[in-house]
Amino acid sequence: MKIHIREIDHVVIRAVDPDALTRFYCEVLGCSVEKEQRDLGLVQLRAGRSLIDLLKVGAKIDRPDGGAPGAGRNMDHLCLRVEAFDGEALKAHLQERGVRIGELGVRYGADGFGPSLYLFDPEGNMVELKGPPQGAAA
């Protein structure tokens, strides 16, 4: 059997303050709340065709061996593919909202080389916004 990966289905981010992260991912990055399971400590956000799950540290389904956020990284960064990529406009949008921004550059992703911008969410997780590949039709 060969496994064929099509795309990221979801990413789970352990959060000290899921409400702050929900606001960040929805208000700043344009996600929307898809499903809330507060009894489990879980908020699921729609990010295009994928989900970003925010799991409250210490919640019912949090793993006891997860450690404290900020004490180490469970992932390096989350990359979100965006359309109509305008690096300067994205930087201005994020700066207006007080977001810590990393480097704007050209990086390799699932569709080849294209523009990308690093930024950080309120709990210090790095997020990459990735535009269409170079040479793609506008």
C-alpha–C-alpha distance, residues 55 and 26, integer Å: 16
Residue 135 lies in a domain: no
State residue 22's pLDDT score.
Answer: 97
| Number of domains within the chain | 1
Provide the residue range defining the domain that includes 51.
Answer: 10-130
Span 46-99, pLDDT tens digits? 999 899 999 888 888 887 666 666 655 556 688 998 888 899 999 999 999 999
C-alpha–C-alpha distance, residues 57 and 30, integer Å: 24
CATH number at residue 117: 3.10.180.10
Mean pLDDT over the full length of the chain: 86
Q: Which stretches of 8-130 are DSSP H helices?
A: 18-23, 87-96
Residue 2 lies in a domain: no
